[in-house]
Structures are given as C-alpha cells and as structure tokens.
Amino acid sequence: MYQGIRISGFGGQGVISAGVLLAYTGIIENKNVSFFPSYGAEMRGGTANCSVVIASDEVDTPIVSSPDTVIVLNEPSLAKFEPMVKPGGILIVNTSLIKTEPKRKDIKVIKVPCNEIADKLGNAKVMNMVALGVFAKATGALAIESIGKALPKVYKKLKPEVIELNIKALNEGAKLA
C-alpha cells in the first residue's frame, strides 16, 4: 500500500497541521510515514503546501511529485497542483474558495464546500478537518477513528470539546466523499 498526498492552501488554513496529523495517524496504524513541508519564506495569508506519504513499504523520498491524492484549499493551489495528480488519482477541491472548474478528466474530482461546513459546525478553523474526512473516506488509506486518536497526541493543548468538534468535522467530511 502506498498513498502519496499533497495538501495546499493559504498559510493559516491548517495545511501543515493537517499534514502532520495524517503522518501521525499513519504511525498509529503502524505504517511507514513521512511528512515534508514547504519551508522558508512561508507566512499567514501566503501559500503553503506539504507532502505526506503513508506506506506499508519503506518511503523512498518524502517529496511527492505525482500524488495519489491532492487536497486544494484555495484558488492558486488548484492551478499549481491539479496537473500533478497521478492519472486515476483523487483531487479534493474546497469549493468555498475555489470557483474555477478543474479541467482533468482522468482523475476523480470531489468538490466540498469545506468553509461552509465548518461554519455550520460553529468553528471556521475546522475546515481542514472536513477535507481530511473526505480524504480518509475517499481513499480508505486511514480510518477516521485513527485520525481522532492522533488529534490529542499531536495537539496536546486542545481541550476535549475542541477535539470533539474536530472529530465532528471529520465525520461531516466523510459523508461527502
């Protein structure tokens, strides 16, 4: 089993947090994982992206050049990462912020209004969890429950009610996959 993922969006949308969470979830499921962020002149409001690999075999490079799944959370990310998706792969598009139609016909496109769903749940910050819920269900690479288990381990300062809300967002996302 090999799943190469790219997540991309504005700095502040939880792109890096989502990637770290996926990697930790892979560890919980006894898989080999790697996480690699874009780094350097990154800032809130700028663009940020990360690569995650979850595999049963050894991971050769943490830099994912042709991802099985791409999650794009803002407009510039769609332009940059849509062409990279492996043929037959999955593109998860946050339609709350992306109005452009994806062009590729050889991949599966899943459109989800992540921000609206997060707003309905009462906290805009959990929009990245909605996207991860879609990812987990659509790919079957990781169990939603495992992501829930990883949450308090990665973010030790989160209050139980906030973790609860994040898990709710994951489940909402899963429904839309």
Partner 1 sequence: MAEKQLMKGNEALSEGAVRAGCRFFAGYPITPQNEVPEYMSWRLPQVGGAFIQSESEVAAINVIYGAAATGVRSMTSSSSPGISLKQEGISYCAGADLPFLIANVMRGGPGLGNIAGAQGDYFQSTRGGGHGDYRLYVMAPNCVQEMFDFPKRCYETAYKYRIPSMILADGTLGQMMEGVEIKWPEIDVKTIEKPKWSLGINTERRERRMVGSYDLRDGMLEKMVLERVKRYKEIEEKEVLWEEKMTEDAEIILVAYGISSRVAFAGCKMAREKGIKAGLLRPITLWPFPKKRLAELAPKTKNFLAVEMSLGQMVEDVRLAVNGATNVNLFARPGGSPIFAEEVYKAIEDIVKKGAKEYATVK
Identify which of residues 29 and 116 has a Cβ nearer to partner 1 in the complex: 29
Stretch that binds partner 1, among 28-36, 79-87, 127-135, 164-172 (CB under 8 A): 28-36
The partner residues of 117 in beta bridges, in order of sequence, read: none
- Angle of helix 127-139 relative to helix 15-28, nearest 10 degrees? 40
Cα distance between residue 56 and residue 121, in whole Å: 35
Decide if residue 157 touches partner 1 (CB under 8 A): no
Decide if residue 27 touches partner 1 (CB under 8 A): yes
Q: Which of 29, 36, 55, 111 binds partner 1 (CB under 8 A)?
A: 36
CB 16 to partner 1: min, Å: 10
Decide if residue 62 touches partner 1 (CB under 8 A): yes
Supply the DSSP string of 97-156, one letter for each residue.
T--SPP--SSSEEEEE-HHHHHHHHT-GGGHHHHHHHHHHHHH-SS-HHHHHHHHHHH-T
Cα distance between residue 151 and residue 22, in whole Å: 10
For residues 33 and 52, the answer to whether their CB atoms sit within 8 Å is: yes
Decide if residue 23 touches partner 1 (CB under 8 A): yes
Decide if residue 106 touches partner 1 (CB under 8 A): no
Q: Which of 10, 35, 81, 135 binds partner 1 (CB under 8 A)?
A: 35
CB 55 to partner 1: min, Å: 11
